[in-house]
Amino acid sequence: MNSLKFFSALSLLLINSIIGQTFSGNVKDFSTSQNLENVLIEITDKNTYEKDTIYSDYYGNWSYTLTSIENGQIPNSFYVDQNYPNPFGSIQSKPSGNTSTNIIFNIHKSEKVNVIIHDILGRVVDKNEYFLQNGSYKINYGGKGSAGIYFYTISTSHNSITKKMIQLNGTSGNGITGLHSINFKSVSTLPKPYEKNISIIFSKYAYVSDTLHTIINGGENLTTSLESLHSNALLVDLHNDILERIFMEDPSYNIGIYNYKFETDIPRLKIGGVDLQFFAAWVSPTAYVGKYYQTTVDLIERLKYEAMINSDNLVVTNNSESSLNVINEKKIAAVIGVEGGHSIEGSIEKLTQLYNLGMRYLTITWNNSTEWAISSSDSRTATVGLSDFGKEVIRKMDSLGVIIDVSHVGIKTISDILEITHNPIIATHSGVRAIKNSSRNLYDSQIKAIANSGGVIGIVFYPSFIGDSNNDGDSDIDDVVAHIDYIVNLVGIDFVAIGSDFD
């Protein structure tokens, strides 16, 4: 009975080794931990460079079996052994050394086989072509050329393996001198445990690929997480109007909890993967006449208050270094923008004070023109631009380091700005006029001018500005993508951004 048990155990071991070793795994989304289906899994044997591919199932699971030992007398896989001896060739101290070397390989079907020897510079030293039946073969290589490192490549219609060999002496040998059929050479032997050095590449559309290098003995279960391109990218939204909504409509609004009334709160910013949000301080030019500056200050203070009571998730920043530090802490960096030049009330001093309070971009006009700048909604948009004071504002913004925003800004005003500033300008929340003929959108020439300055155009999500010309009320993500693609094709991907204009 004991002998029978021993025989049975040995049989199981042999069967397991002969049939192969199975390993498996699961792939999840890095951020959501949801299982990912249809992930392409490319498995490469790092010794033979043979590759195979499988896909994860609906539950993110996958399984693969590696064959540890060929079954019977005919190989069922392509294999190239390391040449022996290696190094080869005589040296002065050992003139009787091996002057040639043998290369052994297996092919699993009858086909044409190419053998190529090349030097370290890729130059072909010798080559030959054979049509062979499936089986094991040995090539004798007598050396050729000067001493050094050489490579041999055995290739078939679907497989190719290259390995390195060292020739110790210069020789005028015959190179590839003979090919012989030999008894089948197994890739591995018993009872040594079967293991393979493999690499696994996991890839899926809209995700960052991941590569795993590991030794497989069988039975392993590998858990992998892939990060979406969206999560991996640094996501900046150039324009958001929630401050105006809170200030004018609902001072009790809590940005720290999920809300249904408006479009913006911290939980939804987190879900959306927003890393840096520009919050616009916009003051109604009709509701706050005579109080533009003070109301702007009040809006800025409201943002700082929201950041204070939600400090675990939101931090007001005013430069790139502090913003990146906040983002690295998995918090949202909040940067202040002021929408509309009327907020400075015609005062360079108030412009400077807003900068000191944290303003880092100023939208030169809103829909209303000022005494010093004309908006895109003004009938004079193409003919009247900056006044002398307006030019002084631009110069002061340059000296302070305030970004110039030209969304809402008139045609002539934009060209005047470009003649004065030495810095990049941006359009934080605009669209493409060639797609949607709105005064809020930019002509191709303006897009090119902004790109030439080194600036970007933030594509707005507001339906009336991005739907096609026959559709003024509705839009969807396809419309946003259409505007992005247009700018990418016109000036390049480096000059397009997102400026949602969410409330």
Q: Does 329 have pLDDT greater than 60?
A: yes
Q: Does 323 have pLDDT greater than 80?
A: yes
Q: Does 97 have pLDDT greater than 90?
A: no
Calpha distance 388→396 (Å, rounded): 13
Q: Which of 497, 338, 316 is CA-nearest to residue 424?
A: 497
Q: Long-range contacts of range 391-394, CB-CB < 8 Å, 24 or more positions apart?
A: 391/416, 391/420, 392/348, 393/341, 393/344, 393/348, 393/351, 393/364, 394/420, 394/421
Calpha distance 405→484 (Å, rounded): 18
Whole-number pLDDT of residue 15: 38
208 shares its domain with 115: no
On whether the CB atoms of residues 360 and 280 are closer than 8 A, the answer is no
Q: Does 302 have pLDDT greater than 70?
A: yes
Inside any domain, residue 503 = no
Among the candidates 151, 182, 213, a domain finishes at 182
What predicted TM-score, i.e. pTM, was given to this entire model? Answer: 0.70
Count CA atoms closer than 13 A to 206's CA, side-chain side: 6
Whole-number pLDDT of residue 194: 56
Confidence band of 94 (pLDDT split at 50, 70, 90): very low
318 shares its domain with 245: yes
Write the CB contacts of 389 (distance below 8 Å, at least 6 apart in sequence): 346, 371, 372
Write the CB contacts of 459 (distance below 8 Å, at least 6 apart in sequence): 429, 430, 431, 466, 480, 483, 484, 487, 496, 497, 498, 499
Q: Does 220 have pLDDT greater than 50?
A: yes
Count CA atoms closer than 13 A to 445's CA, side-chain side: 5
Confidence band of 168 (pLDDT split at 50, 70, 90): confident
Calpha distance 313→189 (Å, rounded): 58
Higher local confidence (pLDDT), 310 or 15 = 310
- What tokens appear for 116 in the block? 């190529």
288 shares its domain with 435: yes
The domain tally of the chain equals: 3
Whole-number pLDDT of residue 469: 58
- What tokens appear for 315 in the block? 């931090």
122 shares its domain with 161: yes
Whole-number pLDDT of residue 5: 42
- Dump pLDDT digits (tens) for 7-18: 344 344 433 443
Q: What is the enclosing helix (H) or strand (E) of 413? A: helix 411-420
266 shares its domain with 340: yes
87 shares its domain with 37: no
Q: What is the enclosing helix (H) or strand (E) of 335? A: strand 332-339
On whether the CB atoms of residues 143 and 62 are closer than 8 A, the answer is no
For residue 85, cis peptide bond before it (omega within 30 degrees of 0): yes
317 shares its domain with 246: yes
- Dump pLDDT digits (tens) for 476-498: 999 999 999 999 999 999 999 99
- Dump pLDDT digits (tens) for 37-85: 999 999 998 887 788 889 999 999 999 887 543 444 556 677 888 888 9
313 shares its domain with 421: yes
How distant, in Å, are the alpha carbons of 31, 66, 230 from that of 22? 29, 6, 34
Whole-number pLDDT of residue 12: 40
Inside any domain, residue 12 = no
State the pairing for strand pair 457-459/314-316: unpaired
Whole-number pLDDT of residue 474: 77
In sequence order, the β-bridge partners of residue 18 are: none
Confidence band of 196 (pLDDT split at 50, 70, 90): confident
CATH classification of the domain holding 49: 2.60.40.1120
Confidence band of 161 (pLDDT split at 50, 70, 90): confident
Share above pLDDT 70 across residues of the chain, in percent, rounded to a whole number: 89
How distant, in Å, are the alpha carbons of 264, 312, 406, 449 from that of 307? 14, 9, 27, 36
Q: What is the mean pLDDT of residues 444-466?
A: 97
Return left, alpha or beta for 378; rule: phi > 0 is left, psi -120 to 50 is alpha, else beta. beta
Give me the domain span that covers residue 475: 236-498
On whether the CB atoms of residues 183 and 199 are closer than 8 A, the answer is no
Whole-number pLDDT of residue 122: 85
Inside any domain, residue 463 = yes
Q: Which of 142, 109, 108 is CA-nearest to residue 128?
A: 142
Inside any domain, residue 6 = no
State the pairing for strand pair 61-66/79-80: unpaired
For 79-119, the DSSP string reads EEPPPBSSSBS-BTTBTTS---EEEEEEESS-EEEEEEEEE
Provide the angle, in degrees to the nearest 10, between the axes of the packed helices 444-453 and 477-491. 70
316 shares its domain with 455: yes
Burial of 493 (0-12, 13-18, 19+ CB in 10 A): exposed
- Dump pLDDT digits (tens) for 272-295: 999 999 999 999 999 999 999 999
Higher local confidence (pLDDT), 135 or 350 = 350
Inside any domain, residue 5 = no
Running DSSP on this structure, what letter comes out for residue 364? S
150 shares its domain with 267: no
Calpha distance 340→361 (Å, rounded): 10
CATH classification of the domain holding 95: 2.60.40
Q: Does 95 have pLDDT greater than 80?
A: no
- What tokens appear for 363 in the block? 């939208």
Question: Phi, psi (5° rounding) for residue 327?
Answer: -60, -40
Inside any domain, residue 210 = yes
CATH classification of the domain holding 404: 3.20.20.140
Inside any domain, residue 252 = yes
Q: Does 465 have pLDDT greater than 60?
A: yes
339 shares its domain with 423: yes
Among the candidates 173, 201, 228, a domain finishes at 228
Q: What is the enclosing helix (H) or strand (E) of 216? A: strand 210-216
Q: What is the mean pLDDT of residues 376-393?
A: 98
Q: What is the mean pLDDT of residues 424-448?
A: 98
Calpha distance 54→42 (Å, rounded): 7
Inside any domain, residue 2 = no
329 shares its domain with 377: yes
- Calculate the average pLDDT of the chain: 89
Among the candidates 149, 182, 215, a domain finishes at 182
